[in-house]
Amino acid sequence: MDSEQLRENAHKMVDFIADYYKSIENFPVLSQVEPGYLRELLPDSAPNQPETLQNVLDDVQAKILPGVTHWQSPSYFAYYPSNSSVAGFLGEMLSAGINMVGFSWITSPAATELEMIVLDWLGKLLKLPEDFLSTGQGGGVIQGTASEAVLVVLLAARDRVLRKLGKNALEKLVVYASDQTHSALQKACQIGGIHPENCKLLKTDSSTNYALSPDLLSKAISDDISTGLVPFFLCATVGTTSSTAVDPLLSLGKIAKNNGIWFHVDAAYAGSACICPEYRCYIDGVEESDSFNMNAHKWFLTNFDCSALWVKWQFLPVENENWGGILLEFEVKVPFSNEASIALHMHDRNALIQSLSTNPEFLKNKASQANMVVDYKDWQIPLGRRFRSLKLWMVLRLYGLENLQCYIRNHINLAKYFEGLVAADSRFEGCKYCLSCQLAHLTWDKPLLGLVVVTPRIFSLVCFRLLPPNNNEDHGNNLNHDLLDAVNSTGKIFISHTVLSGKYILRFAVGAPLTEERHVTAAWKVLQDEASALLGSL
């Protein structure tokens, strides 16, 4: 790389990106192009001769940006957010600039060590138990996505049990989760060779605000054990993708522990909120889990991709191991090489490594051979890995905890504001009893039936829908589908949908870094106008 060329061109690029952010509100939030639009605009083959950067940027402006859905727009309220920030961007830039591939400690010691430190920092902000931190013999790793995080721990749990029962037991292994769990789990099961019928997505409904019922789980486990199946993995979610349901970690964790099941907690979106003391309660019970993930690239100002995964470190005495019964744990803090570890069966962080490590000759080196270092290649699917911790480090340092907490609280307040707007319009069904909903959530096993209308807002997602005229539910789903299409076609806002208990529900997820109250007010106006037009045309 020629440094003067870099200086000149990178300044131009930064100007281009800064201008993009300055004018981001002028673009339709949801790209309005038709499939295949780009093939018509670009040549069939790559150029023989170099072009100027300006030519390329002109094409980006004229041909690429129209095909971009603007996730950073302040009027983006779809799915879940995918935050960028100056800090996150600078970290990405630095990582791209250094451009090293840190798969083993030796390939860039700073990359491995910074990742361990930064994940310990983040783990402490989340008040994760010491067992999850590298200082407490557990540890964190940055995966590209939550899907990869779930996959690697599922593979670790699978192999842990297959080492004990033999490879033929694979077809008997059972995974549990609620039917609200992200499809990443099903994909992990497919990749992990779990029999499709043994990925048990237990039914949820509005009586638990779509959280997984411990009673249902216990029953499913005992039914499966009685037919010779082997329960081995439970995935709970804090902040489900459809509606931000929170599974009761404490009760679920105890069931998992009593049955020797690996317990994973997926807090991909909502985990960020748990750095605020008032939201930390939603991951109470995480101490019962074996692994935990949250996406810093969703709602934590860290540019995509940055999914944090922690695994707990435990030692199990081999002779007392009982996969079908109570799992005995010892917290023995010994270094890797200590003789004591030979007498113990290690799992969790080590289970991950046992499942995913390879040791080819061309990667051997003194530090790895002596077990003195972490080699993150053994904690993930690919070999190569980026210096992702830089951007998370930048975010943590350039914001500081207090600003990050304010950031989360601001979005939650904006979501409350939107919730109030929905509640004030009798044509819509939202969550009209905020306080009751909060109570209903906190005592999730005793919901205040009849008060929760769609489903409670807990974090910054509001679930709502337009009521069908004359309460004719035959039209309710089509009506809301049409409303979604209509508002997104305006290009003024972008929202998404889900289906809960057979009802088509609109999702309004606040979380883009540039969103202010005026954007929420304007979004509500678009929704109201399109609703009036639809209802008027019926």
- List residues near ligand PLP by CB under 6 A: 80, 145-147, 182, 184, 237, 239-241, 266, 268-269, 295, 307
Tokens of 420: 């109030």
Q: Which is nearer to ligand PLP, 230 or 275 (CB)?
A: 275
Shortest Cβ 72–ligand PLP spacing (Å): 17
Quick check: helix, strand or coil at residue 182? coil
Q: Which is nearer to ligand PLP, 155 or 327 (CB)?
A: 155
Shortest Cβ 463–ligand PLP spacing (Å): 14
Strand ordering across the sheet containing 230-237? 139-143, 307-311, 291-295, 262-266, 230-237, 173-178, 199-202
Q: Which is nearer to ligand PLP, 92 or 429 (CB)?
A: 92
Tell me how far apart the alpha carbons of residues 341 and 55 are, in angstroms, rounded to a whole number: 61
Q: Which is nearer to ligand PLP, 149 or 390 (CB)?
A: 149
Shortest Cβ 267–ligand PLP spacing (Å): 7
Tokens of 343: 């007498």
CA 292 to chain centre: 11
Shortest Cβ 187–ligand PLP spacing (Å): 9
Quick check: helix, strand or coil at residue 461? strand
Shortest Cβ 80–ligand PLP spacing (Å): 5
Tell me how far apart the alpha carbons of residues 368 and 365 are, in angstroms, rounded to a whole number: 6
Q: Which is nearer to ligand PLP, 269 or 524 (CB)?
A: 269
Q: Which is nearer to ligand PLP, 145 or 410 (CB)?
A: 145
Shortest Cβ 265–ligand PLP spacing (Å): 10
- Omega before 425 within 30 of 0, i.e. cis: no
Tell me how far apart the alpha carbons of residues 121 and 296 are, in angstroms, rounded to a whole number: 13
State how far the alpha carbon of 471 is from the alpha carbons of 70, 168, 468, 474, 496, in Å. 36, 54, 5, 9, 23
Shortest Cβ 507–ligand PLP spacing (Å): 11
Question: The dihedral of CA 107, 110, 111, 115: what is its sign?
Answer: positive
- Omega before 179 within 30 of 0, i.e. cis: no
Strand ordering across the sheet containing 496-500? 428-429, 461-466, 503-509, 496-500
Q: Which is nearer to ligand PLP, 62 or 381 (CB)?
A: 381
Shortest Cβ 104–ligand PLP spacing (Å): 25
Q: Which is nearer to ligand PLP, 282 or 524 (CB)?
A: 282
Contacts of 488 (CB under 8 A, 6+ apart): 29, 30, 494, 495
Shortest Cβ 248–ligand PLP spacing (Å): 16
Q: Which is nearer to ligand PLP, 213 or 241 (CB)?
A: 241
Shortest Cβ 408–ligand PLP spacing (Å): 16
Tell me how far apart the alpha carbons of residues 34 and 253 are, in angstroms, rounded to a whole number: 47
Contacts of 423 (CB under 8 A, 6+ apart): 430, 431, 432, 434
Shortest Cβ 223–ligand PLP spacing (Å): 27
Tell me how far apart the alpha carbons of residues 520 and 214 are, in angstroms, rounded to a whole number: 37
Q: Which is nearer to ligand PLP, 289 or 307 (CB)?
A: 307
Tokens of 43: 């040549």
Tell how strand 262-266 and strand 230-237 pair up. parallel
Q: Which is nearer to ligand PLP, 268 or 493 (CB)?
A: 268
Closest CA to 269 of 184, 170, 372, 332: 184
Tell me how far apart the alpha carbons of residues 209 and 71 are, in angstroms, rounded to a whole number: 28
Q: What's the N-to-C CA distance of the chain in angstroms?
A: 62
Q: Which is nearer to ligand PLP, 105 or 299 (CB)?
A: 299
Q: Which is nearer to ligand PLP, 492 or 507 (CB)?
A: 507
Shortest Cβ 255–ligand PLP spacing (Å): 21
Are 275 and 404 in contact, with CB atoms under 8 Å apart?
A: yes
Tell me how far apart the alpha carbons of residues 26 and 21 are, in angstroms, rounded to a whole number: 10
Shortest Cβ 481–ligand PLP spacing (Å): 21
Query: Strand pairing partners for 76?
Result: 494
Question: Buried b vs exposed e over 438-475: b needs ≥16 C-beta within 10 Å?
Answer: ebbbeebeebeeeebbbbbbbbbbbbbbbbbeeeeeee
Shortest Cβ 237–ligand PLP spacing (Å): 5
Query: Strand pairing partners for 231?
Result: 174
Tell me how far apart the alpha carbons of residues 492 and 27 are, in angstroms, rounded to a whole number: 8
If you compute the radius of gyration of the chain from its CA atoms, what whole number of angstroms results?
25
Q: Which is nearer to ligand PLP, 146 or 221 (CB)?
A: 146
